[in-house]
Amino acid sequence: MTGAMITRAVGSVFGRQGLAVLAAFLAIAATGHAESLSGTALVAALRQGGYVLVMRHPSSPFTPPEKAAANPDNPKLERQLDETGRTTARAMGEAIRTLRIPLGDVLSSPTYRALEGVRLAAFGDAKTFAELDEGAQGMRANADAERSAWLRTKAAELPRAGTNTLIVTHTPNLVGAFGQSAAPVAAGEALIFHPDGKGGADLVARIKIEEWPQLAGTP
Three-class DSSP labels, the chain? CCHHHHHHHHHHHHCHHHHHHHHHHHHHHHCCCCCCCCHHHHHHHHHHCCCEEEEECCCCCCCCCCHHHCCCCCCCCCCCCCHHHHHHHHHHHHHHHHCCCCEEEEEECCCHHHHHHHHHCCCCCCEECHHHCCCCCHHHCCCCHHHHHHHHHHHCCCCCCCCEEEEEECHHHHHHHHHHHHCCCCCCCEEEEEECCCCCEEEEEEECCCHHHHHHCCC
- How far is residue 193's CA from residue 217's CA, in Å, rounded to a whole number? 24
Answer yes or no: are the C-beta atoms of 88 and 59 closer than 8 Å. Answer: yes
Query: Is 50 exceeded by the pLDDT of residue 14?
Result: no
Mean pLDDT over 182-201 rounds to: 95
pLDDT of residue 34: 57
Average pLDDT value for the chain:
86
Write the CB contacts of 152 (distance below 8 Å, at least 6 apart in sequence).
21, 24, 25, 28, 177, 178
CA 119 to the chain's CA centroid: 16
- How far is residue 71's CA from residue 79's CA, in Å, rounded to a whole number? 10
**Phi (first) and psi of residue 2, to 5 degrees:** -80, 165
pLDDT of residue 144: 81
Name the pLDDT band for 219 (thresholds 50, 70, 90): low
pTM above 0.75, yes or no: yes
Residue % of the chain over a pLDDT of 70: 80
Answer yes or no: are the C-beta atoms of 56 and 187 closer than 8 Å. Answer: yes
Answer yes or no: are the C-beta atoms of 61 and 112 closer than 8 Å. Answer: no
Tens of pLDDT, residue by residue over 95-106, are 999 999 999 999
Residue % of the chain over a pLDDT of 90: 74
Domain boundaries, the chain: 3-216
CATH class of 3-216: alpha beta
pLDDT of residue 143: 52
Query: Is 90 exceeded by the pLDDT of residue 4?
Result: no
Q: How far is CA 31 from CA 68, 156, 157, 208, in A?
A: 47, 12, 16, 20
